[in-house]
Amino acid sequence: MLTSPALFLAEIRPGGATTFAQVDPSAPHVRVDDLGVTRGDGIFESVAVVDGNPQSLRHHLDRFARSAALLDLPAPDTAVWARAVADAAAAHPPAPELLAKLVLTRGVEGGDAPTGWVHVFPAHDYGSQRTAGIDVLVLERAYPSDVVTRAPWLLQGAKTLSYALNTASLRYARAHGADDVVFVSAGGDVLEGPNSTVLARFADRWVTPPPELGILDGTTVGRAFAWAADRGDGTEVARLRVDDLRVADAVWLLSSGRQSAPVRSLDGVPRPTDAALQAELLHHLLTVHD
Amino acid sequence: MLTSPALFLAEIRPGGATTFAQVDPSAPHVRVDDLGVTRGDGIFESVAVVDGNPQSLRHHLDRFARSAALLDLPAPDTAVWARAVADAAAAHPPAPELLAKLVLTRGVEGGDAPTGWVHVFPAHDYGSQRTAGIDVLVLERAYPSDVVTRAPWLLQGAKTLSYALNTASLRYARAHGADDVVFVSAGGDVLEGPNSTVLARFADRWVTPPPELGILDGTTVGRAFAWAADRGDGTEVARLRVDDLRVADAVWLLSSGRQSAPVRSLDGVPRPTDAALQAELLHHLLTVHD
């Protein structure tokens, strides 16, 4: 019988040999002394599964491996993880949009193996944000733009389980009447959202900020760039200042689950959105697989 | 039969009514979709239990409640948590030094109740660090000194489960031949260690940095200050620059588990320690209860 959600738990042996087995998602599987919970000491990826297809899986797994390296975690066997994502997606009752969450923690304190799982569950319904757009606050991330090279111990650029400030930023935005956040560095560079990548359009040029600012290398923006290039537009990974966002022809936040959401206001100031372009972009993101 | 460690799991009803029950610590009790593990979205306290006495419990519980407020978590019923700490400590086989970890998470995503527990287990053996001292690196925390008021969404001053960068900093220190870390703000103010409070002695004056810098209000330093005052020395909560640490008569890192550890080198430069004073301070911390 298909259960919903589908949960596949890893057994990772010293040395890295990994197998997955399906378990009951409503039962607890994590010990209270797992460093993933006591220290947020682990990494994750969220992969959209659209019409049964895990999107940008290779890119997600590459980033998962890079995050593991940044945290000195054992390298995940990405081929085995890819199979687990496919198996967990297949084990879930079919749905147009699912999300697969991949988690790897440092394991139980004092133990000799990391903890890991793949959890597939229905995606949120982002219909209205995709169509009507989102109100966004610009909030300080308060790190210098060269934090990655200057202070690698701060783990910027790794997708860790230590996301309390990301969720706190979203709560702050909601308490102030907004839906989402764009972080800006102490140096005034546009960074990313708490769970998203910034994409700005200036006429026929599409721009997203560079990972060397200590932000994640977005998976969705790669597919958006492929679409923009197909249109004959230019794409660029380049620094943006907050003022650039205020004069862009349009701004989007991209992420695996929500795909593309047009920014309809920035710090309370209305921004133009383009419904036809958003429909076209979203259609591409939801239908073209890689 | 006494089990070791002792684990008491909370049942927290909507509205906050809380009861604890003892459970098997070797079994998993946390679901994979608990926000404590997927987002590090929760708080904790580590309370030393010395000769059966939970130390500075009132102070820890006050800080636990302040952290909950900073994260918009339901206020913990501190009287019930205090009883759970006492019960869990009593349920553990007697030992000179135990640690009680209190954890409160936002609970399962989409659920209506936080998750919580009290976990009592034997403390690490810090004998050699207490006696021989520790080698410390000064590392950038890369936030401005006014981060708390300027960017409350960054949760500085809350003791959250999102501690990956704290453990990464300690790994960085160990990879560079040191034992521990002192963080410094972008403005050059001495902050705290990843798991500790900084205490510096200048002749008969003892100084620790102020919580308004976005650091934790240390529990152990309160007891150290009481001891220093009993000696007739002055105690002060005041800003320190890194250079102040380099000229202090002695520097300690204080924490619940290790209590007091003298800093014997800072960025590779030997610093004087005072074995007699450390012995006296440690004896006070381990014997005087509050």
Q: Do A143 and B140 touch (CB under 8 A)?
A: no
Rounded CA separation B160/A163 (Å): 10
Kindly report, residue by residue over A229-250, the tens digit of the pLDDT.
Answer: 999 999 999 999 999 999 999 9
Model confidence band, residue A3 (pLDDT cutoffs 50, 70, 90): low
Q: Do A168 and B155 touch (CB under 8 A)?
A: yes
Per-domain residue ranges for chain A?
Answer: 6-122, 127-287
- List C-alpha distances in Å: A60 to A63, A90, A182, B290: 5, 19, 22, 51
Q: Measuring CA to CA, which residue among A92, A80, A65 is closest to residue A20?
A: A80
- pLDDT of B162: 98
- pLDDT of A264: 98
First-to-last C-alpha distance (Å) of chain A: 30
Model confidence band, residue B1 (pLDDT cutoffs 50, 70, 90): very low
Q: State yes or no: ipTM above 0.95.
A: yes
Q: Is the pLDDT of residue B28 over 50?
A: yes
Q: Do A36 and B37 touch (CB under 8 A)?
A: yes
> A116 to chain B: nearest residue by CA?
B32
Between A44, A72, A168, which is nearest B153 by CB? A168
Which positions in chain B touch A27 (Cβ < 8 Å)?
Answer: 28, 31
- pLDDT of A56: 97
Which positions in chain B touch A174 (Cβ < 8 Å)?
Answer: none
- List C-alpha distances in Å: A135 to A122, A173, A183, A264, A267: 25, 9, 14, 6, 8
Kindly report, residue by residue over A138-168, the tens digit of the pLDDT.
Answer: 999 999 999 999 999 999 999 999 999 999 9
Which positions in chain A touch B105 (Cβ < 8 Å)?
Answer: 37
Name the fold adopted by A6-122: D-amino Acid Aminotransferase; Chain A, domain 1 (3.30.470)
A182: left (phi over 0), alpha (psi -120 to 50) or beta: beta
Which CATH architecture group holds A127-287? Alpha-Beta Barrel (3.20)
Please state the three-class secondary structure of B7-40 as a single string. EEEEEECCCCCEEEEEECCCCCCECCCEHHHHCC
Rounded CA separation A264/A255 (Å): 17
Kindly report, residue by residue over B36-47, the tens digit of the pLDDT.
Answer: 999 999 999 999
- pLDDT of A289: 76
> B185 to chain A: nearest residue by CA?
A143
Q: Is the pLDDT of residue A77 over 70?
A: yes
Rounded CA separation B259/B275 (Å): 15
B114: left (phi over 0), alpha (psi -120 to 50) or beta: beta
Kindly report, residue by residue over B158-185, the tens digit of the pLDDT.
Answer: 999 999 999 999 999 999 999 999 999 9
Q: What is the DSSP string of B231-268?
A: TT-EEEE---BHHHHHHSSEEEEEETTTEEEEEEEETT
Query: Shortest Cα distance from A107 to chain B (angstroms)?
Result: 12
Which positions in chain B touch A160 (Cβ < 8 Å)?
Answer: 40, 162, 164
Query: Shortest Cα distance from B223 to chain A (angstroms)?
Result: 26
- pLDDT of A1: 45
